[in-house]
Structure 1
């Protein structure tokens, strides 16, 4: 009986504490109402962070108080602390979206601002989709497009001609293995067809006057 009484008292105390703390916590946040937000906040999966921490990519103009207010009013998530930093992007050739990459015209994309928040309650990510589940988002085409883009960017580097062609080397190695194993036979390059006469030769433009190249001689 004593244990049940203690549990009831603790439950009532915690309920009263939540009732008192919630308005105080909300009072410290902003009260500006935004009905049509024109910004995007992206949550990043980071397995190195503890369950009580979450990482976000936010606009450069967003500050810590804005993110804290956003998480509380939109999702009811109380935030204990926020840390932010700006990540400088790497140099790349030409601007994004160009139809044809211009070599040796360097461009630095806009920096990315990231924020890490500490929450009162832990958050566990769902399991990552693998295998056939990724095909719903055209994962094969996405990987092929990224590989093609990387190869195109590498071909425009100043030292691209000095680097070995890995694809050709691998293809020649596989073909040599097939020759040695007898799976494929060597075929010489066929000779080009010889010129075939279809009639008697005929002289054309007989009345054409050609000026000498060196009239003084």
Structure 2
């Protein structure tokens, strides 16, 4: 069998496979950062190299450096299972410094197409159901009213105590004027009452 030149060899390539990512990355709105910085919410097993590679190949965004931190969620329980404490999964954030700036678009004049008002109404109704028909604002107002009443009661008690102290002082002064012995100092009274037996004689 004659050797086939390399230039005439037919190389059969298989069907090209496209690998889609199995993770979700969210761009977080951060108005306090500069236009050259962006923050992403990434999976916990995501590394800085993964994010750099993903942004470059998917969006052609070159990155200079990346800072990451993991935010631990607080311990809480559920309404369905009270006193069943658990800690939700932590959240990992990565802040990147980009080669070109990115400016967020301005907020729309009306949020009606996005249903923002309906969402706020749903949150309010949920709060009403959780607080048994009483909003947190009403609870704060009630607490402020109770605080005011407590201060008034404490002020009244202090005033009454001061009046009683003044009356007691006047009575003590009258008693001191009535008995001349009260005008003597404690040392003089003690000297008069002590006996030779107390002195060891």
The question of whether the paired residues in 2 share the 8 Å contact of 1:93 and 1:153 is answered with no
Q: TM-score, normalised by structure 2?
A: 0.54
Instruction: Quote how far apart the aligned CAs of 1:91 are.
Output: 2.8
CA deviations over 1:167-199 (Å, ceiling 9, x no partner): 996xxxxxxxxxxxxxxxxxxxxxxxxxxxxxx
Q: Which moved more, 1:35-44 or 1:65-74?
A: 35-44
Q: TM-score, normalised by structure 1?
A: 0.50
CA deviations over 1:24-80 (Å, ceiling 9, x no partner): xxxxxxxxx972211110001100001100000001111000000001000101000
**Which residue of structure 1 aligns with residue 89 of structure 2?**
110
Structure 2 unaligned blocks of 5 or more: 1-16, 143-201
The aligned runs of 1:145-184 (5 Å cut-off) are 145-153=122-130, 166=139
Structure 1 unaligned blocks of 5 or more: 1-32, 95-99, 170-217
2:66 equivalent to 1:82: yes
Instruction: Quote how far apart the aligned CAs of 1:128 are.
Output: 1.6
Cα RMSD of the aligned pairs, angstroms, is 2.9
**Which residue of structure 2 aligns with residue 181 of structure 1?**
none
Secondary structure of 2:68's aligned partner: strand
Instruction: Quote how far apart the aligned CAs of 1:138 are.
Output: 1.4
Length, aligned pairs only = 124
Bigger-Rg structure (1/2): 2
Instruction: Quote how far apart the aligned CAs of 1:93 are.
Output: 2.5
The aligned runs of 1:121-132 (5 Å cut-off) are 121-130=100-109, 132=110
Secondary structure of 1:93's aligned partner: coil
**Which residue of structure 2 aligns with residue 62 of structure 1?**
46
2:77 equivalent to 1:93: yes
